[in-house]
Each structure stands twice: as C-alpha cells, then as structure tokens.
Amino acid sequence: MGNLCSIAVSCDAIISRCLDCTARKATYISELEDNVVALQTAMQNLIEARNDVMSRVIVAEQQQQMRLNQVQGWLSRVQHMQTRVGDLIIKDSSPEIGKLCFGGFCSKDCKSSYKFGKKVSKMIKAVTTLMADGANFQVVAERVPETAVDEIPHDPMLVGLQSTLDEVWRCLAQEEEDQVRIIGLYGMGGVGKTTLLTQINNKFVDTPNDFDIVIWIVVSKDLQLEKIQENIAQRIGLCNESWKNKSLQEKAIDIFKILSKKKFVLLLDDIWGRVDLTKIGVPLATPKNIASKVVFTTRFIDICGLMESNRKFKVKCLTDEEAWKLFQNKVGEDTLNSHPDTLELAKSVAQECGGLPLALITIGRAMAYKKTPEEWNYAIQVLKRSASEFPGMGKEVYPLLKFSYDSLSDDRIRSCLLYCSLFSEDHNISKSCLIDCWIGEGFFDENECNEAQNKGYYIIGVLLDACLLEEGRGLNYVKMHDVIRDMALWITCEIEKENVLVQAGAGLTEAPEIRKWEGATRVSLMDNEIENLFESSTCSLLTTLFLHSNRLTKIVGYFFQLLPSLKVLNLSSNNFLNELPPGLPQLFSLRYLNLSKTSIKELPDELKSLVSLKCLNLEKMRYLRVIPRKLISSFSMLQVLRMFNNYSQSYTAQDSVLFGGHEFLVEELLCLKYINVLTVTIKSSDALRRFSSSSKLRSCTQSLSLQSFSDSKSLNVLSLAEVKHLRKLHLKSKYLEELKIGGAQEVERIRETHGFRSLHKVMYTLAKT
C-alpha cells in the first residue's frame, strides 16, 4: 500500500497563538491614543537631540572642521523621520482616533484602526532607535586636511628678484643648508621685499618639497604676539573658542606641541622690531624639526641681528636695464610706440625713479596713456622740480616710505636725515662733512661737544641700517637714494612746513631770484655753474647756505650782512674764488665755515668776530699764504679744524701762522680747549716735536701731512704711533733721506699699545714743496 505520514498539532497551541495575535491587534487599537502621544513626545525629544548635534557641528565647522559622514547621514534620517511623523500625525491621527468607541477599547472600523495603530507603534520604535544612535556621537566633525601652502595672489612679472629668490630657495630646499634656520630679507621701503616673500611662498605650491606646512603672516608695525599666534593657530587647526580664551603662554604651549612635530616654514612679512618666537610657541630647534625655517622681511638690517638670522639678503633697487623692463611693462607698448620721441623720453622718466620698483610702477601706471612728447617732457620737469606733485607719489609712494622715517627713534635723527636732502642727487656725501654740518646746525647739545663725532657716526649707522642712506663710493661716504631724497624734501615742506630752497645740481648759471630765498631756513645751490652773487635781501631765518662746487668769483659786499641767523656756510670747491667775500666776518652766528679747495690767498684778521665758530675747514687751499697770528686761537669754541694738505706754493708772510715750519700754528692749536677733530699740515721737525708733546693734539688728530722738513733728514715713524686716531698720513719732502722704524723693543711696545690701529692710508712723495 504506501507509507503514511501523519502530523499531530496541538489544538491548545493553535488556540493560544490565535488569542495572542488577537490580543496584540486589540492593543494596537486600545493603546492608540497613548501611542500617538508617545510618538509625538519621542519625536520632540529626537528633534531636540538633533538640534544639539547640529549646534556642535556648526561650532566645529566655524573652526574649519568638516562634519562626519555618519553624522550627516543621521541628520538626514532624522529629517526624513520628522517629515513622516508629521504627515502621520497631522493627516491620519485625528480621523483614526475619532473612530474609537467604548472608551477606546473598540473601533467602528477595526481594520483601519489596527493598521494605523501598528504604524504608530513601528514609528515609535524607529524614533527610539534614531535617538539611541544620536547619543553615541562623541565626535561630530574632524579637522579638514590642511593644505601645505596657501597660494597668494601676485603680479606674475618678477623683475630683478630672481637671483635673490634662487639664493633664498637654496637655503630652504637643500639639505646641506639645514644649519640655516632663520633668513632675513632687508631693504628700503618699496624695493620689493613683500613681492619676493610672496614668490617664495608660491614656489612651494609648484615645486616638490618635503615641508609639512608653510605659514604666511603679515606682522607690520603694530606688533601683537596674540595676533601672530591666532594666525598660526588657524593654519594648524587650533583656533576654537576655548583656545581663544587661553593665556599667551598656554597658546604658545599648544602651538609648540603641534609645530615641534612638523617640518614647517614660517614667513613673517614686514617686521619692525624683534619678534620673540619662543613666546609665540615656534620651536627654534628640535631633532624632529631641525630643518624647519623662518623667513622674514624688514627695512632694518639691525633687525636681522635681533632675530639672530643665520643668513641675510639685501633686496636692492633694480639696475637700469631691469628698471626699464618693469617700466615698459607698466606703461605699455602702445604708448611707448605712439610717437618717435616717446621712447627716449620714457627712459628719462624711468631714470628718475632710481630703480625703486614702487616708484617705477606708480609712475608707469600714471603715464600709461600719455601719448604726446609734451606730456612726457612735463612729467620729467615735474619729477626734477618737485616729484611730490606727480600723480601718486604724494599719496602712494612717499607715505609708504615715510613709515621708515617715522620709525626713527627720535627727532634729532629725523632732522639729520632731512638735512641730507640738501645735497645733490646721487652725491657722495662725506661722512665727516655731514657730521660737521650737523654740529654747525646745532643738532647736538652744547655739553656733547666731546661726543659729537661719535654721535654723528652712530646716527649715520642708524640711517644706513634703516636703508634711508646707502653706502657711498667708499667707507667715508654715504649716498641718499633719489626717491628717499624726494621723500625727505616732501616731508620737510609738506609735513614739517619748513621753507627750503633746494636747486642743487640744477644746471644753474645764475642764482635764483632773491625773493625766492625770503623766508627760507635752508638754501642749497651746490653743484651748479653760478659765477656771481650780486642780488641780496634780508633772509632772517636762513641757517644753512650751500654754495659749494660752483664757479663763484664775486660776491657783493653786503650779501652776507643780511643773513643774521646763518650757521652753516659752505663755499668749498669754488676754484675761481681767490679772496674771502667781504661781509663774511659779520656772520656772528656762524658755526660752520668750509673754504676748502678754493683759491683764497688770505684770511683777514676780522674773522675773529666769528666767536661761535665750531667747525672750520681749510683743507687743500693750495694758495693760502696768510692766516693772521692769534686768529685760529681766537676761535675759542672750535671743535673741528681741518687743515690737511693746506700749503702755499708761494711766499708766506712772516706774520702768518703758516710762516716757517708751522711752529706758530702748533702753538695756537694748543690754545683750543674744545678741539676734538684735527687734520693738520706740519712742515718741520721742531713743529712736529711740539705737536707730539701734546696729548690733546695727539688724541684728536685724524689726518697728518708732513711736508718739506728742510731742518731734518731723518724721521722716526714710530714717534707718530701715539697719534691714536690717525687715519691718513702724508709724507712729502725732498729733504728726508731716512724713515726710522725703531728698535725691536720700541716696535713691541707700539704693538702692545695698538699703535697705528686706525691708520688706513699712507702716502709718501719725494717732490719739491
């Protein structure tokens, strides 16, 4: 028959399951109202939790962090659930609850109420699950992966900076340059330091390197360590609200913890004082970041020392070729080709900028659409006469350069700088002459007479360090950049409201009308072709008058009588001036008088009236034969006397201190109580002995010319070793046959006392005097 399979099912089990199912369905109906309230409450709790998470996300995103994907997914699910619950409650809850009867235990439409109750129950579970998921978010966002370097917008044209850029880059990129930790870029304002630093920053974008991060910060004149810390913190992901409330030291510790584990480059633009990197939190050197670098820009070379830079680079003005290339770019080819004369005129305009990029760019832009020769000629005239009137110079160029002027430590140094603008463009200014003029003008206190020279050289050093002066043709000279000079004149006239007349090197054959002098405090007509001064007027405020390097032959007798306040007078290098101008002895306020390199033969006894004279320069007066006795010694306030290579090729009067071997001159020098700078010519061994016996004269003599010496055939050179500050020695005689150096003991004694330590130039000529 076949196999039989039988299944036995308990009737009680089936009945039990059916009852449970029926009970659950009944519960969906009987608890419907409570469940709807429970769903609304759960949803409200979920919304509040969502809002809390969202607040944390917003704070994190404000700190440049990025929300986690799981957080974003959860927020999206909550939003979707809120929509579903809202639709369910608003659309269906009221009708379904209205169907309930018998106190909510039954429904007029059991099937419909059952389905709705079941849906509500499931939503409660879903909301509860979302609530639990949201409670697990310990972190809602993470730091955005930082870029190694932020590219900075810049002018793509790099002129004259490429070689410096390459040198700095080698210090940054090559492993053998790891010992170069801090690099300083210094130079005058407007020369392109920020442009160079920008190029360095952007080079990290395109050039493979192993630095973790490059940080750019503009420091500026108002140094704030907290601001620097904040900028660094933003780049390394530290800058949140709680961090901002920390102290300077706490912030430094946080910065140090991160940067000490990174190989970084810190670029600091426009430093005006020492930035204490340790106070900021920048690690100076650790085994992990020994190759990290700091590069900064400044206008002051001494800042490189204060920052302990291992290397420094001067950002220089452009060469003529580089300057022309930049100027061409800013003017444009259309304008330069607009007329046959424009090209040469444009080169003349570019020349007036002195290679300073800021001036080249400003003037180039202003001339971009000037297409007639007349406009270019006018531009040249304005730049030569008063550059501040040229569009953009007084508003863009000079104010930027003036920051360096303002940063000078005191008004005296500022006054010394402005005084330099009296000299011609590109003039090599003698340091000693400049300091003498400062003394004459009264820039130093009366009680500083013994310190005035050192103070003067200190001020020159300050101005050189600030890139407001430049090194001249040698160690003894400085120069003033053309644009800095124009800026100084602009400050003098526009800011200080001082009336000056400066037409130095202007090609004048006649002096300006005297009415232009009236009210002026300083007048400079040096480096011209002026022959005569006939016109005169009372200039009661005039304190400085530069007339040197002209062709003066005649000055009217009453000219100087109308200058009661004149303190500084320079008549030097007027080769045709063979007699002292009459009226000069009436300059009772005169403190500085320079007659060097003139053909004047005689100084009158009336000069004794110049009782305020502090600086007198009679050097290289080849024809001077008469200096009355008691004249030099009458200048009781004299601090500086220069008579180096002062000699006459003709007869010398017996009543002159120049008579004989200058013994009378030495006697008068001994009477000068305040003398601290002396350059002198001596013509006999007797005069030299008297000179050498005075510790005062030995200590203040800087240049010594020994000529003739007809009374001796031998000179012991070591006898001059005690002239401690002797810089220049000139020997000229046909009589000297022997120069003695002395014995071994004397040589050793001189060596031990550092004799001749200042001597840097010796001239010896065997010739007739």
Distance (Å, rounded) from C-alpha 694 to C-alpha 361?
59
Residue 91: helix, strand or coil by DSSP? helix
Q: Over 70: is that where the pLDDT of 353 sits?
A: yes
- pLDDT one-digit tens code per residue, 256-276: 988 988 889 999 999 999 999
pLDDT bucket at 649, cuts 50 / 70 / 90:
low
- C-alpha 223/C-alpha 268 separation (Å) is 11
List alpha helices for 407-515, DSSP H.
411-420, 431-441, 452-465, 482-490
pLDDT above 80 for 750: no
Report how far residue 302's alpha carbon sits from residue 296's, in angstroms, rounded to the nearest whole number.
13
Read off the pLDDT of each residue in 382-402 and give the average, rounded to a whole number.
89
The pLDDT score that the predictor gives to residue 722 is 83
Residue 455 has pLDDT above 60, yes or no: yes
pLDDT in tens, 79-111: 888 888 777 776 655 555 545 554 445 555 566
Least confident window among 99-108, 140-149, 157-166, 615-624: 99-108
Buried b (16+ CB within 10 A) or exposed e, 274-309: ebebeebbbbeeeeebebbbbbbbbbbbebbeebeb
Among 4-13, 21-30, 429-438, 689-698, where is mean pLDDT lowest?
Answer: 4-13
Q: What is the mean pLDDT of residues 505-514?
A: 91
| Residues making up the chain, counted from first to last | 769
Q: What is the pLDDT of residue 96?
A: 56
Quote the CA–CA distance of 592 and 441 in Å, as a whole number: 8
Predicted TM-score (pTM) above 0.95: no
Average pLDDT over every residue of 298-323? 93
Cα distances (angstroms) measured from residue 760 to each of 610, 702, 703:
34, 11, 11
pLDDT at 671: 94
pLDDT recorded at residue 13 = 44
Nearest to 171 by CA among 287, 294, 285, 271: 294
CA angle 424, 428, 432 (to 5 degrees): 110
Convert the pLDDT of each residue in 23-52 to its tens digit.
455 565 556 666 677 777 888 888 888 898
Q: pLDDT at residue 419 above 90?
A: yes
Highest mean pLDDT among 86-100, 520-534, 552-566, 717-731 belongs to 520-534
Among 2.30.110.10, 1.10.10.10, 3.40.50.10860, 2.70.98.10, what is the CATH number of 396-487? 1.10.10.10
pLDDT for 31 equals: 61
Percentage of residues of the chain with pLDDT beyond 90: 51
List the structure tokens of 680. Answer: 């002198």
At 27 the pLDDT is: 66
Predicted confidence at residue 578, as pLDDT, reads: 93
Question: 17 falls in which pLDDT band (50, 70, 90)?
Answer: very low
- pLDDT reported for residue 515: 83
Residue 589 in this model has a pLDDT that exceeds 50: yes
Homologous superfamily of domain range 162-314: P-loop containing nucleotide triphosphate hydrolases (3.40.50.300)
pLDDT band at 402 (very low <50, low <70, confident <90, very high): very high
pLDDT of residue 311: 93
Which tens digits make up the pLDDT trace of 221-252?
A: 888 899 999 899 888 877 777 777 889 999 99
Distance CA 711, CA 278 (A): 70
